[in-house]
Structures are given as structure tokens and as C-alpha cells.
Amino acid sequence: MIAVLRRIGFTLGLPAVLLALWWVLSANSTNFFFPPLSQILESLVQEWFGPRLRADALPSILRLLAGYGLAAAFAITLGLLIGTSRTVRGFLEPVLEFFRAIPPPLLVPIFMLMLGIGDRMKVVVIAFGCMWPILLNTVEGVRALDEVLSDTARSFGITGRARLRHLVLPAASPQIFAGLRQGLSVAIILMVISELFAASNGLGFAVVQAQRSFAIAETWAGMLMLGLLGVLLALLFRIVENHQLAWYHGLRRSQRSS
């Protein structure tokens, strides 16, 4: 219990200190562009935990999850294929390096022409941008497979799906989750960028609209909402990662203690 409380204290300590400093230093602010934190928090509660939660936050979250899920499924499948086959890797690597070098925001106008300005375009932008860290980490995780384990599995006749399920995926899963974590951060950024172009709702759209109308408190509140969303998604991801990689973290703890 004490260890849990200590961990919570370490996690929440710095944010609490920063918020307290912000509150004190901005309490008597008369600067138009830096309103008091109390005013920003009031706008956050009224706007983002009220009507905007369903009108703007929920559509953004659904687009993010759709794009992220699509990218994860495609990138992990392709990464397993590339990592296990030198022929496929040599054939696809030049094309993948070409597309990876193109910043996703530059492709937004092209995707708009091809897919329109609806949710499909935004999902594709998110998926295209966040698939690369997942793909590259998956490939590296598969290529780093222990040769001794691979030879042992081959000698016991473990091939095909059984080898993929019981050897390749568990061995590459720490690297895959590292890519998924990086991809999640990219997905949040691209969610906002995709909503800056011809959008009618979403977090990015709401923040830009507030900025253009000089609603400064609402602008700050929207940025805080984006930060809170990022923290929540990172927390949920860590819970899933700890559950799926419990064996890996246990192995590392035992190695450190020995």
C-alpha cells in the first residue's frame, strides 16, 4: 500500500506543483493572452465537460482510434512479413523508405482530393502517419529473433502459424509495443492536424475556431483538453502493455535482481 501511494505521489507530484505555480502566478493576470488559470479551468469544465464533449471530443477520439487501429493491424502484419522474409524486405524496402520520408501533413491536400473532407480522409491521414514507427519496430523485433530459439523450434518441427504464434510474436512483442507507443503519440498529433482542414467538428477544429475568434480562455482550455486526452490514452496503453508484457517485465526484474 505504501509503495502504491509513493508511486502515485511521484506520478502526480510534478503536475500538481506546476498547476499550483500556474494558479498563483496567473491569479492577478491582466494580460489578454494569458488569462488566470481559474478562468481557463472554468472554461474547460463548461465547454469540454459539457456540450463539446459529445460534439467535438468524441468524434476526434473515434477518428483517432479508427486510424490507430487500422495502422496497427496493417503495420504489424506487414512488419511480420518483411521481418521474416529477406526477399520481401529487399523488394519493399525502397518503396517504404520513400513514403516514410514524406511528412503526413503534406499529403492532407492529396487525401482531400482523393477521399473528400469527411471522416475517411482524417482516418487515413492518422493511419498513414502513425503506421511507420509500428512497422519499423515490428520489423526490427522480428529480425532480432534469437537464432538459438529459432533453430530449436525448427528442430522440433515448429513451423508456420505455430512458430509465428509461439515464437516470433512473443519475441518481437516488446519491440512491437514500443512502436505502438510511439505511433499513439503521432496519432494524437495527426488527429489535430487533420481537423485543421475543412473540418466541422473535433478538438483541433474547436481550438482553431476559438483562436480565430480571440476566445483565449477557450483556446487554452482546448489545449488542456488535448493534454488530458494524451495522458488518458497513455495511461490506458500502459495498462494494456503491462498486462500483455507481464512475462517480459517479470523476466527483466529477475535479471536485475540476480
- The model scores a pTM over 0.75: yes
**121 and 194 in contact (C-beta within 8 Å)?**
yes
For the chain, the straight-line distance linking the first and the last C-alpha, in angstroms and rounded, comes to 25
The closest of 99, 152, 148, 153 to 128, measured between CA atoms, is: 99
Question: What's CA 26's distance to the chain center, in Å?
Answer: 31
Q: Is residue 2 scored above 70 in pLDDT?
A: no
pLDDT above 70 (res 258): no
Question: Which H/E stretch holds residue 20?
Answer: helix 2-25
pLDDT at 199 over 90: no
| From 31-45, 87-101, 142-156, 215-229, the region with the lowest mean pLDDT | 142-156
Distance CA 243, CA 258 (A): 23
Please tell me the CATH superfamily of domain 39-253, with its number: MetI-like (1.10.3720.10)
Nearest to 120 by CA among 128, 51, 101: 128
Q: What percent of the chain has pLDDT over 90?
A: 38
Tell me the pLDDT tens digit for each residue of 85-116.
Answer: 888 888 888 888 888 888 888 888 888 888 88
pLDDT at residue 10 is higher than 80: no
> Could you state, in order of their start, the residue ranges of all structural domains in the chain?
39-253
Cα-based distances in Å from 32 to 40, 46, 216, 220: 12, 20, 8, 12
Mean pLDDT over 232-238 rounds to 93
Q: What is the DSSP letter of 54?
A: I
Is it the case that residue 1 has pLDDT exceeding 70?
no
Tens digits of residue pLDDT in 38-53: 999 999 888 888 888 8
- Establish how many alpha carbons lie within 13 A of residue 79's alpha carbon, considering only the half-sphere containing its beta carbon: 29
Judged by average pLDDT, the poorest of 95-109, 142-156, 182-196 is: 142-156
Q: Which is higher by pLDDT, 134 or 153?
A: 134
Distance of CA 138 to the CA centre of its chain: 16
